[in-house]
Amino acid sequence: MLANYGYKNGSGDYFITIDTDKCDGCGNCVPACPFGVLEVGEDENDPFREEPVAKVSEFHRKKIKYSCAPCKPMKKRKPLPCMNVCSPGAIAHSW
């Protein structure tokens, strides 16, 4: 399942997509994110899944444009830490 967390507003699309089929719930992304955007827990949208899965925390869902902004400078952007540590490649950003 592709879980899109975030929103679309007048200024653009801000979504973090987690591919729950690829995510193994390892939790490496949680400490990698300097702002605590990601968390690992029960899959809210698949009641029969037993393994934990990564998701964007409720607290950040409606403001990820701002929560993720420090990792997305206009110039000399480095690879995003959350995507860097995710070995299955389950995390994607839309912007």
Q: Which residues bind another protein (CB under 8 A)?
A: 1-4, 7-10, 13, 15, 44-48, 62
Enumerate residues 6+ apart whose C-beta is below 8 A from 7: 14, 15, 61, 62, 64
Residue 61 or 85 with smaller CB distance to another protein: 61
Note whether 65 and 14 are within 8 A (CB).
yes
Residues 6+ apart with CB under 8 A from 42: 49, 52, 53
Q: How far is the CB of 46 from another protein (least distance, A)?
A: 6
Beta carbon nearer to another protein, 4 or 28: 4
- Looking at the Cβ atoms of 28 and 63, the one nearer to another protein is 63
Q: Write down the least CB distance from residue 57 to another protein, Å.
A: 15
Q: What is the DSSP letter of 73?
A: -
